[in-house]
Structures are given as structure tokens and as C-alpha cells.
Amino acid sequence: MTAPNLYSSTDTGPRGLSAGVGPAPSPLLLPKSARKRDEHIHRRPDQPRPLPGVSTPPKGKDTPASAVADQDQPAQPQTGNAIATTAQNRLLPVQWAPPPGSLILVGRARGGIGATSFAVNLAIELCSKRATGRSRDRKKVALVDFDVQFGTVANSLDLTDRGGLVDLLRLPRHPDAQAVRNALLTHNSGLRVLAAPANPIPLDALDAPRVAAILDALMADNDTVIIDMPPALMRWIEPLLARAERMLVVTNLAVTSVTSARRMLNILREDAPNLTIETVVSRESKPILQGKLHRQAAETIGAPLSYWLPEDARNARLALDRGEPMVTFAPRSSWSRAVRRAAQTIHKSAARQQLQR
Ligand SMILES: Nc1ncnc2c1ncn2[C@@H]1O[C@H](COP(=O)(O)OP(=O)(O)OP(=O)(O)O)[C@@H](O)[C@H]1O
Ligand SMILES: [Mg+2]
């Protein structure tokens, strides 16, 4: 007789929004029809973006002839000078922009599981020299706290929000690179932080185009951008899914946590079928061999149990009270060592993905 699947009693049917009995849950993310309108949201940061609010200048008598010629090139007979100028422009070097950094999402199956602690310490590790394994190579890393109501990233790092995110949301236009840089706080490790507002704001104060602009600016400036995901599935997470390479879901192995991880991922996979998803098992030491229960949990979540963070309530509490990351407060603890290993694996894998792009 085979042992029953502990996770099968709740929600182990086929994946996807339309799976299961009864009406399919309505998509929380933008419907396909809306995506056409918001095409720029899906643009990779290295593709040209139509500047918001900038329209094609009308052809009036004040419009310089050269501007008209640029727009209507095929219709305009070119003079000898114009041909020479066009040829000269073709010889100019193509403007080079560095490839955008990689985006890592950190989500959680349920509250209080240790997702923010992991996101913060992973970010600190990724911008340290240890993760890259080369002494001179310090990576630029940004961490965004999109838990805009009760986010604790700033507190965990002894930083004080100066209203950076709220300023970006108040701008009459989409934030540009400089506005986003101004909104960042810098930790003494070099980590840049876009903190959640000190006073909670409504979750729908953010919108997809603005989030897309913030991400593009951050990814252009940094090697890695880590997102501490909001506690709810908002429409504005679509630009996150469109750009992310990897999602790390923090959970424990309780049936309720595993099934809510599965429910959340079913929805996210609809919009991001190619996202690499891995499970971070919190408050459990890595087993020497993964048993049947572990395999069932991984199958139910639909993502391997890749990283294990042991229980360490004492150091977690002391580090948080001091506003210091656990990896520097207790660098030799098994929790910190586990995060360090995770950072090294993630760094190597991100470097491989970058090469393949
Ligand atoms: N491995 C651990 N062992 C013991 N306690 C931990 C561990 N990781 C985190 N904690 C503690 O658990 C609490 C919640 O952690 P954290 O804020 O990281 O979780 P979260 O999943 O982001 O929660 P939230 O739902 O508030 O976003 C904190 O007090 C933290 O210090
Ligand atoms: Mg959190």
C-alpha cells in the first residue's frame, strides 16, 4: 500500500486558471486586450520606448525643414547635402547601452514566513564580493520593497524612508532614471533600497506603467534588482512578471502554506509561463536526502525545493532589533551560511542566463 499524498486532499488538480471544477478564477492580471494598449509595459529595457507625452511634431510653417525630412524621408527628394548628412549619420557608432540587470522576485506563501528576511539578506550577499567569487567585482544591487503598506525592508537595514516611492508616485509623468535614483536610499554595504513608505498607502496607489518605468530605470542602473513582492496579487505586478527571470517563493512545508503557494503560482504562471520558479523552504534545515513528503510538496508547488533556511529565532530577532542583516550580524550561523550558498547559486545561474540573452 502506498502512503497517501499529504498535499492531495486540498488542491492538487491540474494547474492553470481554467483548471479544476467550477468557474475559473478571474484573471487578476491585465487581460490580453489591455496588453495591446500597454505594449510598452512588456518592452524589454533595451528596446526603444515611445516617450510618454512626446508626440510627433505637427508639420507647420515653423517646423524646421530637417525635422520634416526626418519624418517623411521616403517622400522628400534629398539634396546632395542631405544625402551626405544621412551617410555621415550612418557612419556614427551605434549607441551602446549595457544589458539590463536581472530581476528576481521574492514572494511568500503566507505572512510572517521569513520572505523579507530572505530578500534583504540575499540582496546584501549578492552585492558583497563573496557572491561573485572575484575580489574586485562588486555588483550593483537594488532592493525594492513593494509591500507598500507594512514593508519592513528599511527597518531591517536601519534606514529611514525619505518618501522616495511616494515622490515617484506623485510625479505628473512616468519616473525617469534620475527621479528613480533620487528615490533610492543607500545602505553602507552599497545596496540601494527603494523603501516602502513609512506610512501605509493604498495598494492600488501604484499602476502598471509607473511600476514598469521604475523597473526599467532600476534594471538599467543595476546588475540585479530584487523585489520583495506585495502581499496581494495586484494588477501592477504584471510588469514585474514580464521582466523577471526568476521567482523565489518562500514557504514552509505545512499543508496550508504549500497549497497557498500553489494557488498563487497557478495565477502567476498564467502571465509568466517562462519564469524560473524555485522554492525556499523557511525554518527547516536541508535534509540529507529529500523524502517522499518533500517530493510531494515540490510537485504540489510545481517548483523544486531549492533552498533551505533553518529556524534561527534568536539571531533573527536580535538582528532585526539592531537593524542589521543576519548575514553580517551572525555571519557564521547556519541560516547565514544557507543564504550565502543560495546567493552564490543564484549569482552563477543569473550569469549563465545573462550570457544566453
Ligand atoms: N529562519 C527564521 N527563524 C526564525 N525566525 C525567523 C526566521 N526568518 C525570519 N524570522 C522572523 O520571522 C518574522 C517574520 O519575518 P519576515 O518579516 O522576514 O517574514 P515575511 O514573510 O516577510 O512577513 P510579512 O508577512 O510581514 O511580509 C521576523 O520577526 C523575523 O525576524
Ligand atoms: Mg515581508
For residue 250, which atom of ligand 1 is closest to its CA? 21
- Classified as helix, coil or strand, 337 is helix
Could you tell me which residues are beta bridge partners of residue 271? none
Rounded average pLDDT over 12-19: 37
335 lines ligand 1 (CB under 6 A): yes
> Average pLDDT for residues 96-109, to the nearest whole number?
87
Distance 40 CA to ligand 2 centre (A): 29
Tell me, using a 6 A CB cutoff, whether residue 229 lines ligand 1: no
- Half-sphere exposure of 65 toward its Cβ, with a 13 Å CA cutoff? 5
**Dist. CA 39–CA 103, nearest whole Å:** 19
Q: Does the CB atom of residue 60 touch ligand 1 within 6 A?
A: no
- β-pairing, 224-228 vs 141-145, is parallel
228 lines ligand 1 (CB under 6 A): no
Is the Cα dihedral 280, 284, 285, 287 positive or negative? negative
- Confidence band (pLDDT; 50, 70, 90) for 178? very high
Please name which ligand lies nearest the alpha carbon of 111. Answer: 1
Domains, in order of start, for the chain: 102-356 (3.40.50.300)
Question: Quick check: CB of 152 below 6 Å from ligand 1?
Answer: yes
pLDDT tier, 194 (very low <50, low <70, confident <90, very high otherwise): very high
Task: Find all residues with CB under 8 Å of 88, minimum gap 6, and list them.
Answer: none
Burial class of residue 110, CB neighbours in 10 A (0-12, 13-18, 19+): middle
- Pick the atom of ligand 1 nearest to 313's CA: 4
pLDDT digits over 284-335, tens only? Answer: 999 999 999 999 999 999 999 999 999 999 999 999 999 999 999 999 999 9
Average pLDDT, the chain: 81
Dist CA 335 CA 51 (whole Å) = 45
pLDDT of residue 47: 47
Beta bridge partners of 228: 106, 145
Q: Which helix (H) or strand (E) holds 212?
A: helix 208-221
- pLDDT class of 355 with cuts at 50, 70, 90: confident
120 alpha carbon, closest ligand: 1
Beta carbons of 248 and 118 less than 8 angstroms apart = yes
Strand arrangement, sheet containing 192-194: 185-186, 192-194, 141-145, 224-228, 102-108, 246-251, 276-282, 305-309
- Look up cell 515617484; give the residue: 168
**Residue 56 Cα, ligand 2 centroid: separation in angstroms?**
44
Question: Among the atoms of ligand 1, which is closest to the Cα of residue 152?
Answer: 17
Q: Kindly tell me if the per-residue pLDDT of 219 is higher than 90.
A: yes
Q: Is the CB of 309 under 6 A from ligand 1?
A: yes
Output the pTM of the full model: 0.79
Distance 75 CA to ligand 1 centre (A): 64
Residue 34, pLDDT > 70, answer no
The atom of ligand 1 lying closest to the CA of 319 is 31
Beta-bridge mates of residue 250: 108, 280
- What's the 52 CA to ligand 2 centre distance in angstroms? 33
Give the model confidence (pLDDT) of 234-270 as tens digits. Answer: 999 999 999 999 999 999 999 999 999 999 999 999 9
The predicted model gives 95-105 an average pLDDT of 81
CA–CA gap between residue 62 and residue 130 (Å, rounded) = 59
β-strands 192-194, 185-186 pairing: antiparallel
Among 105, 108, 113, which is best to mutate for testing ligand 1, by the most ligand atoms less than 8 A from CB? Answer: 113
- pLDDT of 208 > 90? The answer is yes
The grid cell for 254 is 505545512
> Which atom of ligand 1 is nearest to 317's Cα?
31
Core vs surface per residue 279-302: b (16+ CB within 10 A) or e: bbbbbeeeeeeeeeebebbbbbbe
Q: Is the beta carbon of 120 within 6 A of some atom in ligand 1?
A: no
Mean of pLDDT values over 203-211: 96
Contact between 315 and 330 under an 8 Å Cβ cutoff? The reply is yes
**CA 137 to centroid of ligand 1, rounded, Å:** 30
CA of 114 to the centre of ligand 2 (A): 7
Q: 3-state SS string over 61-127?
A: CCCCHHHHHHHCCCCCCCCHHHHHHHHHHHHCCCCCCCCCCEEEEEEECCCCCCHHHHHHHHHHHHC
